[in-house]
Structure 1
Amino acid sequence: MDLGLEGATAVVVGGTRGMGRASAQSLADDGARVGVIARSAAQLDEVLEDLGRRGSPEPFGVSADVTDPDQIDAAFREVGECFGGQVNILVNAVGPSTRGGFDALTDEQWHEAIELGAMSMVRCVRAALPLLRSAEWARIVNFSASSTKRQGESLVAYTAAKSMIASVSKNLSLSLAREEILVNVISPGSVASEGLRGWARTVGVDGDDPYRLMAAISEHFGHPAHLPRTGLPEEIGPVVAFLASRRNSYMTGANVNVDGGTDFC
């Protein structure tokens, strides 16, 4: 299916790893010109080469710390210069790594989770809005998590930040509807990210085997899915690409679970 992305301009914040990179790849596969904003400058060159091979014309990257408002503003000024003052698609895929039970978390850790996990999205949307408003059509896709609905004790700060993303995105879908800027949320379930595979190794499980990884998640956290395996980052990217595309012309304010079926587990 042609998603109408050829010639579109897209920015993926957090696009060098995991589901963010998979999102950038899916947009590139359909011909969008992709800009990637990420903290790690070392990974950008390799990612941009990959996006170019996939069909993204002149992909580019900007290294920025998305917890720093000044760096975010500077990054989007550079995006505006590269994209001729307009952006069709903004994807916010950055997530916090904060783990720990409620009693163990310090104020500093709470602030870290909210700054990286939620305020980065708020600031990126704010910086990108003039560019999105200048485009003929525009979409915003933000990453929340299915764990906001199926809590784990060690994820209290993580899910708080992800819940904020879902709430703010819902409000943005309302306030931007009159401008026909569509805002949606994707909530992945247990996806074999680098972090999850790394955790698996600490408990003696092959994190590269999605079936064994899901069995370990079920054993340790009680979070199974209908499907007997974890998801893969490349299974998230196409969903993001659809939500970000012109083919999605009437869905806004939605929170889309991509979780292998977990609501009634």
Structure 2
Amino acid sequence: MTTMENTAGPGTWELVGKRALVTGGSRGIGAAVVRQLLDAGAQVLTTARSAADTVPEGAVFVEADVRTRAGAEALAAAAREALGGVDMLVHNAGGAGPHRGALAIPDEEWQDALDLNFLASVRLDALLAPEMRERRSGAIVHVSSAAVPTVAPPFLHYTAAKAALENYSRGLAQELAPFGVRVNTVSPGRTATPGGERTREQWAHLSEGPGQDLTAPPLGRDGEPDDIADAVLFLLSARASWLTGSSLVVDGGEFPRG
């Protein structure tokens, strides 16, 4: 566990004094969320399955596997020890590799996709949200995917798990709203991250070609991690104080929703 040190300038401390837990914060979108939280004055604990030198300086890092109940319990205990509690919870850990079709996805990969992309959030929320409810304040953001409505067979284990996450998120928002705890979802589109690039390479190998639409989203470029982190920070902040149960799609117009 590293020592926490906040180096943000006073003028940027929008969330000063708030305590945040971010899963999957060692690279990509998660690391951008951690950096922005630190810049806003928050104390941040983040986690991944293995240590990485890309964890933003100033955050507490704990190795944990959120796919298991034991991992979630250990992470919640570490957050209480390091931060004294959690005011903001960002579920960013997720992902799954492609297959040739839905019927080619092995049973164990269905279970892994559900554990990582859905049940990890359910378990960690169950451990930490009751404390927010008792304090009558808090904010939770679940990171889903803008691709959920496309139901692409090669990624169906991933999008099905994320669809379950979005449904759960809306229901949890209803339950916690009377206690001042907000729950929202951010759904990123194609974003320039190491995980996204790895998935595109895997699909290209399976399809023996590009395996993806190389046309940029309508706004003309792929997303950057900070584009997604901006949306997460907005939903965590007081500027979104009247938003709960919402899903904010951040995809440059790639996946229009009706």
Fold agreement, TM-score > 0.5? yes
Q: Show the counterpart of 1:77.
A: 77
The CA distance in 1 between the partners of 2:144 and 2:201, in whole Å, is: 25
Q: Show the counterpart of 1:38.
A: 48
Q: Show the counterpart of 2:234.
A: 242
Q: Show the counterpart of 1:4.
A: 14
1:96-175 alignment runs, 5 A limit: 96-100=95-99, 101-135=101-135, 137-175=137-175
Output one character per residue of 1:177-201: Cα deviation in whole Å (capped at 9) or x when no partner.
1101000000000111213323556
Match of 1:218 among 213, 231, 238: 213
Say which is worse superposed, 31-40 or 97-106, in terms of deviation.
97-106
TM-score, scaled to structure 1: 0.83
Runs (4+) off by over 4 Å: 199-204
Q: Which amino acid aligns with 1:238?
A: D
* SS at 1:103 equivalent: helix
The CA distance in 1 between the partners of 2:128 and 2:232, in whole Å, is: 18
Matched, 1:192 2:188: no
Q: Report percent identity of matched pairs.
A: 33
TM-score, scaled to structure 2: 0.85
Specify every segment of 5 or more residues in structure 2 that has no aligned partner in the other structure, as ranges: 1-10
Deviation at 1:19, TM superposition (A): 0.8
Q: How many residues align?
A: 241
Q: Show the counterpart of 1:255.
A: 247
The question of whether the paired residues in 2 share the 8 Å contact of 1:4 and 1:246 is answered with no
Q: Show the counterpart of 2:220.
A: 228
The CA distance in 1 between the partners of 2:172 and 2:68, in whole Å, is: 22
Q: Which amino acid aligns with 1:79?
A: A
Q: Which amino acid aligns with 2:89?
A: L
Q: Which amino acid aligns with 1:182?
A: R
Aligned CA-pair RMSD = 2.4
The CA distance in 2 between the partners of 1:27 and 1:108, in whole Å, is: 35
The CA distance in 1 between the partners of 2:106 and 2:233, in whole Å, is: 37
The CA distance in 2 between the partners of 1:197 and 1:263, in whole Å, is: 19
1:195–1:75 Cα change, 3 Å = closer
The CA distance in 2 between the partners of 1:13 and 1:199, in whole Å, is: 20
Match of 1:27 among 17, 37, 61: 37
The question of whether the paired residues in 1 share the 8 Å contact of 2:97 and 2:199 is answered with no
Deviation at 1:130, TM superposition (A): 3.3
Deviation at 1:135, TM superposition (A): 4.2
Output one character per residue of 1:221-260: Cα deviation in whole Å (capped at 9) or x when no partner.
xx75212221111211111011111222100000000000
The question of whether the paired residues in 2 share the 8 Å contact of 1:15 and 1:38 is answered with yes
Q: Show the counterpart of 2:8.
A: none
Q: Show the counterpart of 1:208.
A: none
The CA distance in 2 between the partners of 1:200 and 1:119, in whole Å, is: 25
Deviation at 1:104, TM superposition (A): 0.6
Q: Show the counterpart of 2:94.
A: 95
